[in-house]
């Protein structure tokens, strides 16, 4: 006699769906998971791979990674959101031995995160396994999320929207607050803003109780993430970036109406029309025509909740047009971040819920067929690469120039001239040689992945002091300016060149770079580093007269100096570097970076965590 176990029987569809989901993820990320390749574009070379490498190296320091000495002659590290310095999954996965292993687990982890929570939410709303499976497929494999693979911080932050929607729907302000904090720490503030709008729309559909949950969750999330955003606000105030960007910059990477219509309505559009007006990693979007048709069914046959979700999704599509919308750039809240294409995050996630609503309205015998068709459509779209794929060595093998820069007797810096940087930024990466040029000549900030210290680095939040010094170098790279910045290597472009070609790139050695610490005026004594770690230096000084000790890293709020154990005020040398007055004789000078913004943010986060546990 065979006993019947209803739970086991009922579990079979879920197990089958989980197995099918695993197969779909593997197929979607076949080059990464099975092919041993990594996606490569300018974003990966200049931002993502260096951030991973920096995160690994700086966390080896006995101090928190508060300061980064490699970029832009020194800048805050933790305060920059895109470094993900305090994002728990980044800290955990950065311990893996190599970048491909990190990226594989990163993609799988956040794909599962997004899919699992939208599955839970669709299951909660519609109590149908096929509808939930379709929602999960759209959450984890939609074209918007998969296109962001070269931005690990974008990928992670986007994956947190489904958990936010789930906890809002469940009325859990604690879960909502924790997920908001994690999304912020994932390192892409624009997606936090877009997610807040999406969750607010859901809260409005829930009435007063939903709005109360939303507000309490936001306050908790703000408190828990204060450890990062308080230093971030200080960095923002000290940087060249204003709170709101220039109107012309605010509409960069807007989707033209025709392109949006193609991405929304055309089946497998990348197979036959891959041309785009901007970066595919930013403007890519795909949910599929079948998913859209099912979403329309879900809205038409659904209730108030589905109509509000549909309005939020439609708003995201419309706002992604950016430059095509009259008055878009004149509204200050819309100029808090660049790239109107970021608004596509809302329809990318909300489409899963609306599609689930449509499937739930179908005849039971067609539900799994529809869900499978949606999933297969997404998996097929993922087969078309929207960035180049290469062997990991393109990123991880140290270029010869990196060893040459580090070959001097003291740590020195590399300078890419502004003329070269202008030509690089104006160009596009189309051929393998374009990537090799960026690699071989250490395009900012790629060299920092190998410990190369840079005068000019890729950075949205460049310090005003660093920017002013870089402009002086660009106007007239005088020997003293180069020497004070410790420049040993200059990479420039031939005067007659109109684009960046190998034959037109020039590498020259600069004469007499100063060490990281030196005395002013010249020949007034000796100074040497007794010990050094990011954000802390101990210097032995033997001065023949009263003089100034120059520490050639950017002065920034939070740097403190002590001479022979006594706090000492410091000034700026050349309106950029730290200058400490030292009297005649032998002394020990300690320079330490411990910003009050970090301590205040940490205190607020600890307080918020305590309240969370106590309530």
In this predicted model, what pLDDT tens digit does every residue of 80-101 receive, in sequence order? 999 999 999 998 898 888 999 9
CA distances from 164 to 174, 208, 226, 401 (A): 11, 18, 19, 45
Q: What is the rounded CA–CA span in Å between residue 611 and residue 536?
A: 34
Q: What is the rounded CA–CA span in Å between residue 244 and residue 537?
A: 36
In this structure, whether the domain defined by 517-598 belongs to CATH 2.60.40 is answered with yes
Residue 132 has pLDDT above 90, yes or no: yes
CA distances from 344 to 48, 142, 174, 320 (A): 22, 11, 27, 6
> Is the bond into 139 cis (omega within 30 degrees of 0)?
no
Tokens 């311990």 sit on residue: 95
How long a stretch of residues is the chain? Answer: 615
Half-sphere exposure for 187 (CA within 13 Å, toward CB)? 27
User: In this predicted structure, which of 414-428, 532-546, 560-574 has the lowest mean pLDDT?
Assistant: 414-428
Q: What is the rounded CA–CA span in Å between residue 18 and residue 75?
A: 45
Which is more confidently placed, 555 or 338? 555
Q: How confident is the model at residue 468 (pLDDT cuts 50, 70, 90)?
A: very high
Query: At residue 397, what are phi and psi to the nearest 5 degrees?
Result: -75, 125
Instruction: Retrieve residue 381's tokens.
Output: 């779209």
Tell me which residue of 229, 255, 275 sits closest to 347, measured CA to CA.
Answer: 255
Determine whether 441 is exposed, middle or buried from the number of CB atoms within 10 Å of its CB (0-12, 13-18, 19+). buried
Q: What is the rounded CA–CA span in Å between residue 348 and residue 435?
A: 30
pTM of the model: 0.94
Instruction: Retrieve residue 572's tokens.
Output: 């700026």
Residue 477: what pLDDT?
60
CA distances from 56 to 61, 120, 363, 399, 460 (A): 10, 34, 52, 19, 21
End-to-end, the C-alpha distance of the chain in Å comes to 52
Mean pLDDT to the nearest integer, 116-138: 95
Mean pLDDT to the nearest integer, 70-76: 95
Give the pairing of strands 487-493 and 413-416: parallel
Residue 193 has pLDDT above 70, yes or no: yes
Per domain, the residue ranges of the chain are 6-32+85-387, 401-505, 517-598
């Amino acid at each position: 006699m065979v006993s019947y176990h209803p739970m086991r029987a009922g579990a079979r569809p879920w197990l089958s769906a989980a197995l099918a989901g695993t197969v779909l993820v593997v197929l979607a990320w076949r080059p990464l998971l099975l092919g041993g390749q990594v996606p490569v574009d300018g974003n990966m070379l200049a931002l993502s791979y260096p951030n991973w490498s920096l995160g690994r190296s700086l966390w080896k320091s006995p101090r928190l990674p508060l300061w980064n000495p490699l970029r832009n002659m020194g800048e805050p590290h933790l305060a920059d959101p895109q470094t993900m310095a305090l994002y728990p999954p980044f800290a955990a996965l950065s311990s893996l031995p190599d970048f491909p292993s990190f990226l594989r687990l990163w993609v799988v982890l956040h794909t599962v995160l997004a899919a699992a929570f939208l599955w839970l939410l669709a299951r909660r709303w519609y109590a149908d396994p096929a509808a939930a499976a379709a929602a999960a497929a759209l959450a984890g494999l939609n074209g918007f999320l998969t296109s962001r693979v070269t931005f690990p911080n974008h990928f992670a932050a986007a994956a947190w929207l489904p958990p936010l929607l789930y906890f809002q729907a469940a009325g859990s302000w604690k879960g909502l607050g924790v997920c908001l904090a994690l999304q912020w720490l994932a390192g892409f503030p624009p997606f936090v803003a877009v997610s807040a709008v999406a969750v607010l729309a859901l809260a409005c559909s829930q009435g007063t109780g939903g709005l109360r949950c939303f507000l309490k969750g936001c306050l908790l999330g703000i408190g828990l993430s204060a450890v990062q955003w308080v230093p971030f606000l200080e960095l923002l105030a000290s940087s060249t970036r204003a709170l709101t960007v220039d109107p012309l910059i605010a509409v960069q990477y807007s989707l033209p109406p025709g392109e949006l219509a193609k991405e929304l309505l055309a089946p497998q559009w990348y197979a036959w029309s891959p041309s785009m007006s901007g970066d595919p990693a930013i403007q890519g979007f795909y949910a599929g025509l079948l998913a859209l048709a099912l979403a329309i069914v879900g809205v038409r046959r659904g209730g108030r909740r589905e109509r509000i979700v549909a309005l939020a999704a439609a708003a995201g599509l419309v706002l992604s047009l950016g430059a095509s919308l009259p008055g878009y750039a004149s509204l200050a809240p819309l100029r808090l971040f660049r790239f109107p294409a970021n608004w596509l995050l809302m329809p990318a996630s909300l489409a899963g819920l609306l599609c689930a609503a449509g499937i739930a309205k179908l005849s039971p015998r067609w539900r799994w067929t529809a869900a499978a068709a949606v999933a297969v459509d997404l998996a097929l779209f993922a087969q078309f690469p929207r960035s180049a794929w290469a062997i990991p060595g393109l990123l991880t093998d140290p270029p010869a120039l990196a060893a040459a820069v580090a070959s001097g007797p003291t740590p020195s810096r590399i300078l890419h001239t502004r003329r070269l940087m202008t030509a690089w930024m104006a160009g596009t990466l189309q051929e393998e040689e374009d990537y090799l040029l960026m690699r071989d000549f250490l395009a900012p900030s790629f060299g920092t992945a190998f410990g190369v210290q840079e005068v000019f680095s890729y950075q949205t939040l460049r310090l005003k002091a660093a920017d002013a010094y870089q402009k002086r170098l660009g106007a007239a790279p005088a020997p003293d300016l180069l020497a004070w910045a410790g420049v040993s290597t200059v990479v420039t472009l031939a005067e007659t060149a109109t684009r960046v070609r190998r034959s037109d790139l020039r590498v020259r050695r600069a004469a007499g770079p100063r060490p990281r610490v030196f005395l002013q005026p010249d020949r007034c004594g000796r100074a040497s580093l007794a010990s050094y770690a990011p954000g802390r230096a101990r210097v032995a000084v033997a001065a023949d007269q009263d003089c100034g000790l120059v520490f050639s890293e950017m002065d920034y709020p939070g740097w403190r100096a002590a001479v022979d154990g006594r706090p000492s005020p410091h000034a700026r040398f050349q309106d950029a570097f730290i200058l400490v007055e030292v009297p005649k004789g032998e002394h020990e000078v300690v320079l330490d970076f411990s910003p009050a913004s970090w301590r205040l943010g940490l205190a607020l986060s600890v307080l918020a965590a305590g309240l969370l546990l106590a309530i």
